[in-house]
């Protein structure tokens, strides 16, 4: 089943209509198992870029691509409006021929690549080239990229101001040990009917990815970690109702302390699938989109624009100076 969803996601993200001339491809060298490896990433620098811009890292899912998530996330449009730079790292290819970020999946136990190191190297180059504001570096991603976002919160907390995992879980390395040096604000988005990243988790590794926490457990973990003792819950307006079936709606939960210094937001997409809500370049009549929506719920929810919600959350922290960031 895992390989079926992988093939489907690869097919969907490779048939989108992204105009690659809007972005630039870059390379850097990383040492993996004692050998130099070329790593690739893409950047989008808006015409309206700020003097000392924020940087948003957007990471693709397993078998996906940097250009694919740039296309369906629509983050470049948000960057053009807000003046931040977007970077899209490309994962390496595993033995199954699928692009991935090494978060410690059960079938990647022999993988030597350190993607936390790769992201750090990429950011170092971008800071040198664009005078990035060190207080405004953020990470988000879909599925495997969402899991990478959690791993960065665990292992690079002094580099990232906030993270936003979408359809991801705490799995592998993050589950084995998570010791952030400072509290990293988190916005998470997950669908209750996600057939890939099971909402209830997979403690016995039935799905083959490795054991991972359920979404409610994950949120509870971070809430305890940060000592957040206040909570609000809001049902968002169901603005996108399908003609026939597969309706979904979103509950927004906000966890915080009175001092508001750190928050955890959770968008629970009730009846939602393995999805980036508000995904761009999806059309209900296209065969690839129909298949993706039916099989895993991708493109199902449009009540929110996930990228705009993510930047709205990130922008809460752009005016607050944080001690302990690199």
In a domain? residue 326 = no
Rounded Cα gap, residues 194 and 295, in angstroms: 10
Cβ-contact 149, 139 below 8 angstroms:
yes
Is residue 47 a contact partner of residue 83, using CB atoms and an 8 Å limit?
A: no
Structure tokens at 312: 């709205």
- pLDDT beyond 90 at 119: yes
In a domain, 216, yes or no: yes
Q: Is residue 325 part of a domain?
A: no
Position 131 in a domain: yes
Look up the domain containing 66 and give its range.
2-315
Cα-flanking dihedrals φ and ψ of residue 288, to 5°? -65, -40
DSSP assignment string, 43-100: EE--TT--SS--EEEEEPPTT--HHHHHHHH-HHHHHHHHT-EEEEE--EE-TTS-EE
pLDDT of 298 above 70:
yes
pLDDT exceeds cutoff 60 at 1: no
CA angle, 148 as apex, 322 and 19 as ends, to 5°? 100
In a domain, 320, yes or no: no
pLDDT band at 266 (very low <50, low <70, confident <90, very high): very high
What is residue 283's predicted lDDT score, i.e. its pLDDT? 58
Beta bridge partners of 32: 35
pTM over 0.85: yes
Residue 310 lies in a domain: yes
What is the average per-residue pLDDT within 266-286?
85
Whether pLDDT at 65 is above 70: yes
Q: What percent of the chain has pLDDT over 70?
A: 87
Domain count of the chain? 1
For 18, the token pair is 């992204």
CA distances (Å), origin 194, targets 119, 215, 259 = 27, 11, 34
pLDDT of residue 294: 67
- CB neighbourhood size of 142 (10 A): 33
**Across 78-101, average pLDDT:** 96
With beta carbons less than 8 A apart as the criterion, state whether 64 and 10 touch: yes
324 assigned to some structural domain: no
Are 265 and 309 a contacting pair, CB within 8 Å?
Answer: no
pLDDT of residue 281: 74
Domain containing 147 — which CATH number?
A: 3.40.50.1820
CA distances from 253 to 102, 112, 141, 234, 304 (A): 29, 37, 20, 6, 15
Which SS3 state, helix, strand or coil, does residue 250 take? strand
- 61: closest CA among 113, 103, 27, 107? 103
Sorting pLDDT into bands at 50, 70 and 90, what band is 21? Answer: very low
In a domain, 322, yes or no: no
């Amino acid at each position: 089943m895992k390989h079926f969803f992988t093939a489907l996601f690869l097919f969907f993200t490779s048939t989108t209509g992204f105009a690659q001339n809007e972005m630039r491809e870059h390379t850097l060298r990383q040492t993996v198992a004692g050998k130099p490896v070329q790593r690739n990433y893409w950047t989008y620098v808006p015409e309206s870029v700020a003097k000392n811009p924020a940087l948003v890292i957007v990471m693709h899912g397993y078998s996906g691509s940097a250009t694919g998530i740039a296309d369906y996330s629509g983050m470049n449009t948000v960057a053009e409006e807000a003046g931040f730079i977007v970077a899209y790292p490309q994962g390496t290819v595993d033995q199954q021929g699928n692009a991935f970020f090494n978060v410690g999946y059960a079938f990647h136990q022999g993988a030597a690549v350190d993607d936390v190191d790769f992201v750090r190297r990429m950011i170092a180059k971008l800071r040198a080239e664009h005078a990035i504001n060190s207080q405004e570096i953020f990470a988000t991603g879909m599925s495997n990229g969402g899991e990478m976002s959690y791993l960065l919160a665990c292992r690079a907390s002094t580099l990232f101001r906030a993270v936003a995992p979408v359809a991801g879980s705490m799995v592998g390395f993050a589950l084995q040990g998570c010791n952030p040096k400072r509290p990293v604000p988190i916005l998470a988005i997950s669908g209750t009917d996600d057939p890939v990243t099971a909402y209830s988790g997979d403690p016995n590794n039935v799905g083959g990815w490795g054991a991972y926490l359920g979404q409610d457990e994950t949120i509870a973990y971070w809430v305890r970690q940060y000592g957040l003792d206040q909570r609000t819950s809001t049902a968002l307006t169901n603005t996108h109702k399908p003609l026939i079936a597969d309706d979904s709606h979103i509950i927004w939960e906000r966890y915080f302390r009175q001092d508001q210094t750190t928050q955890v937001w959770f968008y629970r997409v009730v009846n939602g699938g393995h999805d980036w809500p508000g995904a761009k370049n999806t059309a209900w009549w296209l065969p690839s989109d129909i298949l993706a929506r039916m099989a895993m719920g991708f493109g199902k929810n449009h009540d929110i624009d996930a990228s705009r919600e993510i930047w709205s959350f990130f922008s809460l922290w752009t005016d607050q100076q944080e001690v302990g960031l690199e």
